[in-house]
Amino acid sequence: MKLAPYREYKDSGVPWLGKIPAHWEATRLKRVSQVQSGVTLGKNYNLTSDQIMETGEFAVYGGNGLRGYFSNYNKDGKYLLVGRQGALCGNVHRVEGKFWATEHAVVTDVRLGVSTDWYYYMLTVMNLNQYSESAAQPGISVEKIQNLRTALPSLEEQEAIVSHIERETATIDYTITRAEHEIELMREYRPRLISHSVNTAGDRHAP
């Protein structure tokens, strides 16, 4: 099922966006969310690689997502984390609850009237990795992210878009799961078919 088209559109002034519904606002990301690098709890809590464990109470997120676990946290709530450094910089993760964000993760906290889930999909579509700088050590700065432009629909429309995406992707995921199951059954059947054909061939040609 497709989302219903709008009656009137306008040029957003943003090349990758093109035309947007006439009542939507084209704005910079800094007006949509507060963006900052992962912070520490103080000079006595500077997290090192040696302190990150394979298991623990609180997840630790870095530039490429989950890195491990730690006994403390520096964020509590629902946030989006954007990878700041590395080949995969610009990747976006939804995180909720208590966790630790390292200095290699950009913590994004949406402003009032903005859906975190909608913003997640918007940032994903924006492909932030294309804005990375420096070939030796790819990275994307907080300032760069803040000044990128996007479209901002009403909160009601954001929630409708999220519902549509999640409903349709759930259908796709279900179809993929069923297809993978059917493929696995066919793989299991193949050797049985060969074995049965070989073992009964003599019966079919017996005098």
Question: Residue 202 is inside which H or E element, if any?
Answer: helix 155-205
> Over 70: is that where the pLDDT of 62 sits?
yes
pLDDT in tens, 124-167: 999 999 998 876 778 888 899 999 999 999 999 999 999 999 99
Q: Which of 63, 140, 44 is nearest to 102 (CA)?
A: 63
User: What is the dotted CATH code of the domain comprising 9-153?
Assistant: 3.90.220.20
pLDDT, residue 1, reads 61
Tokens of 33: 């969310």
Using DSSP, state whether 74 is helix, strand or coil. coil
> Over 60: is that where the pLDDT of 42 sits?
no
Mean pLDDT of 46-57: 84
DSSP-derived secondary structure letter, 80: E
Tokens of 126: 């924006």
- Which has the higher per-residue pLDDT, 197 or 205? 197
pLDDT in tens, 4-18: 788 899 999 888 889
pLDDT, residue 11, reads 92
Using DSSP, state whether 79 is helix, strand or coil. strand
Domain locations in the chain?
9-153, 154-207
77 dihedral zone (left: phi>0; alpha: psi -120 to 50; beta): left
pLDDT in tens, 81-128: 999 888 888 999 999 999 999 888 899 999 999 999 999 999 999 999
pLDDT, residue 15, reads 87
pLDDT, residue 26, reads 92
This prediction's pTM? 0.81
> Over 70: is that where the pLDDT of 202 sits?
no
User: Which residue is it, tokens 């590395």?
Assistant: 86
pLDDT, residue 102, reads 87
What is the rounded CA–CA span in Å between residue 121 and residue 93? 10
pLDDT, residue 174, reads 94
Q: 49-58, 137-146, 172-181, 191-200 — which one is most confidently predicted on average? A: 172-181
